[in-house]
Amino acid sequence: MKHKMMNLMKANKTIQLISLAALSVGGLAIAAENDLIFWSSTLESGGHRIYATRTSDGKTFSAAKVFPDPKYSCIDGMMALDENVAAKRWVLVYKNEEEPSKGGKNLRLATALADFSQPWSLVETPVAGPGSTMRPHEMAEGPSLLKRDNLWYLYWDAFANGHYSLATSTDLKNWTDRTAELQLPPNPRHGTVSRMPRSAVGWLSKPPAHP
């Protein structure tokens, strides 16, 4: 299975482009409208929602739809493909944008089959931030999620505390706080962490020169 992801930054909001052109699930190949773009916005009353559209040529787009709808204000969505399960799935991490008194300012997960043939399944227990067991006294936003060697890495911006955080998990349920291991420049904000071939990264595409 092949897929590619690209994050576009605009007005401090993350727009994620998922290319499904080569995605094949259980013999079902997704070919039409193969690029999925999603972002957060306040297009309607009731706070932010995550919306999505599809395009096959980057010029014409399907009508934007809520994607998914947890029934509360949410932003900062990012997806990662989980290929090491019987039914391949997308894992979406996003921020509950409500106030902590309403159960928000934390990170939550949702999953959907890779072909989006069924509705999103929302995990109501927060992963990080208020209401969770992972740094519950620090508000969280701007998450990045990736999987490497069967280990999930979740990075996020502890924006009110002036630092980035990291947690890892093997099952997306039990998390280990590894923030103390991070080494970043001072005051990082809303970065994006993603996996890609070495050849796709400009300064890594060529082997280092040896004197």
The secondary element (H helix, E strand) that includes residue 8 is strand 4-10
Check residue 80 and give its pLDDT: 92
CATH of domain 4-200: 2.115.10.20
Nearest to 38 by CA among 57, 61, 21: 61
Report d(CA 73, CA 54) in Å as an integer. 23
Of residues 8 and 109, which shows the higher confidence score? Answer: 109
Q: Which of 108-112, 116-120, 128-132, 133-137 has the lowest mean pLDDT?
A: 116-120
pLDDT higher than threshold 50 for residue 4: no
Report d(CA 96, CA 74) in Å as an integer. 5
Domain limits, the chain: 4-200
Contact 11, 73 (CB under 8 A): no
pLDDT digits (tens, 9 = 90+) for 98-108: 999 999 999 99
- For 59-133, where are the alpha helices, taking DSSP H only? none
Report d(CA 72, CA 97) in Å as an integer. 8
CA 117 to chain centre: 20
pLDDT digits (tens, 9 = 90+) for 132-181: 999 999 999 999 999 988 999 999 999 999 999 999 999 999 999 999 99
Show Cβ contacts of residue 208 under 8 Å, excluding neighbours closer than 6 positions.
none
Token representation of residue 22: 């080569």
Buried (b) or exposed (e) across 46-60, using 16+ Cβ within 10 A?
Answer: eebbbbbbbeeeeee
pLDDT higher than threshold 60 for residue 42: yes
